[in-house]
Amino acid sequence: MIVLLALLSGVALAEDPTIEIPYEKYELENGLDVILAPDTSTPIVYVNLWYHVGSKDETEGLTGFAHLFEHLMFNGSKHAPGEYFTPLSEVGGTVNGSTNTDRTNYYEQVPAEYLPRALFLESDRMGWLLDVLDEGKLDNQRDVVRNERRQRYEITPYGEAYKDLVAATYPKGHPYHHSTIGSHEDLQNASVEDVKAFFRTWYGPQNASLVIAGDFDTEATKKLVEEQFGGIPRGADTTQLEQTKTVVEPQEIRQYQKVPEQKFWIAYTSPAFYEAGDAELDILCSVLSTGKDSRLYKKLVMEDQVATQIRIGQSSSKLESMLIISGTAAAGHTTDEVIAAADAVIADALGENPPTQEEVDAAKAQFEVGFYNGIRTIGDRGDLLQRYNYFTGDPGYIDDDLARYLPITPEAAVAAGKEVLAGERVVLHIWPEGDKPEEEAN
């Protein structure tokens, strides 16, 4: 493992051993966090800009705006009209963005000499996007988003399962209750002024962090960042939402759709990302369902053959997280049978037959391999600096992150599991229409 880590360019390994991604963090006068991570191993530069806004920051009746801006931000700004992709793709760059409940991410990777171009484009849409945002652009992109919603969620088998599970787990009014993509009604009713007001609130430099990783001169890049971003006015500070701990209203939801197999999802609420219990639950979930030797897979898929797929894992987020169990019933069996069998395996693991030290050590080793694989590229490391900065306030949290996992004992994993899995839960079944019981069909 240490040999693998030492081969990772741009990641320093001390004799402890500790992991370090060399970086420098500072703040512009307008509040923009800047994180520079030089790495001369490859003549490329990765620019990663996070706006600290996601669907959790939207208000009722005005949902889907963070994701909508993921589209609008690529449609040109005052000094860079036209599609955002063209000036970077024509020099061999790659460009994309993503939105989730907690943040919005825009990033590009370009040959090192084109860093000024990438920074110019990012700064122009931060400071001057609204100058060219009009009804025509809004209509065009809201139609794109609504079509994406239809394709990804509404006409795809099981496409709305996660959305429905989340909405049932988090009550109405909770920041995570609604989906990131928003509703058709909210998107259609949004006015240009509604959308501009959302941007003014959340997309200023005081609510953003910029990571530049790769082959660049530090002092020259600082000057470039100041030239491009320093003149953008600071916006008003926003209220950051505090962590929550939802008391789940227990529900069992049954849906019958045009799908090929019976599937289910079970949701519990769990600790927020990086909080106590988060890592312990990751290890417990790995023991239970990672690999063919894991307890759930071995019992339900290989031995009893009541399921063709079974998984337990966390969806970790800033305010609180969800622990989700999901599975597919084998032919001739039902999701009810699979859930009963899964519950028995989990109860056994939290009771008379807790994880062994060998199982926990194997889970930790799997995590280490995944961890190191996740910091191989300059882009991976740049995004990790952003994640740590946003969720912990410390871009250099990488060594502390790994240290959360390595000391975990079987007893600690079981204790975390008992804390969460003893709580109420939401169960969602989705069956083929033909499997609908006769009494429900009438």
Query: Which residue type, as a one-letter code, is found at position 293?
Result: D
Structure tokens at 309: 């797929």
Q: What is the mean pLDDT of residues 23-43?
A: 97
Q: What is the pLDDT of residues 386-435, one digit of tens each?
A: 999 999 999 999 999 999 999 999 999 999 999 999 999 999 999 999 99
Lowest mean pLDDT among 14-23, 281-290, 421-430: 14-23
pLDDT reading at 13 higher than 80: no
> Residue written as tokens 């996070």?
50
pLDDT recorded at residue 4? 33
Q: What is the mean pLDDT of residues 173-200?
A: 96
Q: What is the pLDDT of residues 197-224, one digit of tens each?
A: 999 999 999 999 999 999 999 999 999 9
Q: What is the mean pLDDT of residues 228-236?
A: 97
Q: In this prediction, what percent of the chain has a pLDDT beyond 90?
A: 91
pLDDT recorded at residue 442? 57
pLDDT reading at 2 higher than 60: no
Of the two residues 439 and 381, the one the predictor is more confident about is 381
pLDDT recorded at residue 347? 98
Contact indicator for 119, 224 with CB cutoff of 8 Å: yes
**Homologous superfamily assigned to 19-229:** Metalloenzyme, LuxS/M16 peptidase-like (3.30.830.10)
Return the CATH fold of 251-441.
Answer: Cytochrome Bc1 Complex; Chain A, domain 1 (3.30.830)
Q: What is the mean pLDDT of residues 55-72?
A: 96
- Could you state, in order of their start, the residue ranges of all structural domains in the chain? 19-229, 251-441
| Alpha helices (H) along 81-217 | 86-89, 115-128, 135-149, 161-169, 184-189, 192-202
pLDDT reading at 16 higher than 50: no
pLDDT recorded at residue 17? 52
Contact indicator for 192, 227 with CB cutoff of 8 Å: no
Return d(Cα 215, Cα 202) in angstroms, integer: 30
Backbone φ, ψ for residue 428 (5° rounding): -120, 120
Return d(Cα 107, Cα 383) in angstroms, integer: 9
When the pLDDT of each residue in the chain is averaged and rounded to a whole number, the result is 94
Catalytic residue set: 70
